Amino acid sequence: MTSLARWTIGASLALFTVAGARPAQAGDTGTSSARSVHGQVLTSSATPAVRLKIADGFKYAGSQTFILYDVARAEQHFFVDADEQGLVRRMYWIQFEGYLPTNANSYQYKTTKTVTLGGLEFIADAGARTIKPGSGRPGSDGERARAFLEEKGYKPASDDVLSQRLVHLVDEQKRDELMIVYVEDLAPMKLTAPDLAPGGAAAARWDEIAKGLLGRAVKGIEISR
């Protein structure tokens, strides 16, 4: 799940790190009847009804849907900025997720920062991570994302990345969410994730870097209803 109690920035980045993802089952891939993609625009007709336009520097890599941990349905869409070898420099991972009617769960987040995009409020958090093989929770949405992207020929440009997560809870029941994760390669900054960790060589720069990361994440996506 993507609730904060079970989700960290590192978990979201497991899309590139976990081996042995479960093969997609019949009907797991492709856009849903509620959502479609045309060029740079992803349109959702429900939960929530929204239009997401991704900047021209990103290429649509496809989508998949699956049942997550037997309690929620997740639909993932990916827009990547990669070189000819499939090395990903930047990426948008967009996920529509909702609990199944067979349970009474709701998403619980500790909110420290919010941003408003296209009239929707998003919970915002960010982090830096060194990607390590074998990390991440088996069967997670991150594992599914990694397997899908690898099948499409994509992999991270370097071992260290920055990630900005934006989560919109669709209604007061908090049973459906729209999650947007913006990921970018950290190597161009000549920094590593440990440099930005508390006590790291560049820890004092984190607030500045996080502000810039959020700005770039927001700049690359236009949200309307």
Residue 216 burial (C-beta neighbours within 10 Å; 0-12, 13-18, 19+): middle
| Measured distance CA(56)–CA(113) in Å, rounded | 28
Give the per-residue pLDDT at 138: 81
Give the per-residue pLDDT at 134: 62
* Residue closest to 222 by CA, chosen among 39, 70, 89, 66: 39
Distances (CA, A) of 162 to 19, 116, 128, 130, 155: 21, 21, 4, 9, 15
Higher-confidence position of 35 and 27 = 35
> Lowest-confidence range among 127-141, 151-165, 183-197?
127-141
Assess contact for 149 and 181: CB atoms under 8 A.
Answer: no
The answer to whether the bond into 156 is cis (omega within 30° of 0) is: no
Cα end-to-end span (Å), the chain? 26
| Measured distance CA(166)–CA(214) in Å, rounded | 9
Residue 24 has pLDDT above 50, yes or no: no
Extract the tokens encoding 163.
């990630």
Query: SS3 for 119?
Result: coil
Question: Mean pLDDT over residues 125-154, rounded?
Answer: 86
| Measured distance CA(41)–CA(52) in Å, rounded | 6
Give the per-residue pLDDT at 2: 42
Give the per-residue pLDDT at 135: 62
Total domains in the fold of the chain: 1
Question: Mean pLDDT over residues 62-90, rounded?
Answer: 97
| Measured distance CA(137)–CA(4) in Å, rounded | 14
pLDDT band at 86 (very low <50, low <70, confident <90, very high): very high
Assess contact for 21 and 136: CB atoms under 8 A.
Answer: no
| Measured distance CA(107)–CA(172) in Å, rounded | 10
Give the per-residue pLDDT at 21: 29
Residues ≥6 apart with Cβ < 8 Å to 219: 55
């919109």: which residue's tokens? 168
* Per-residue pLDDT tens over the stretch 160-213: 999 999 999 999 999 999 999 999 999 999 999 999 999 999 999 999 999 999
Extract the tokens encoding 208.
């500045």
Question: Please, which residues bridge with residue 129 across strands?
Answer: 161
Extract the tokens encoding 199.
């006590």
Domain that holds residue 10: 4-224
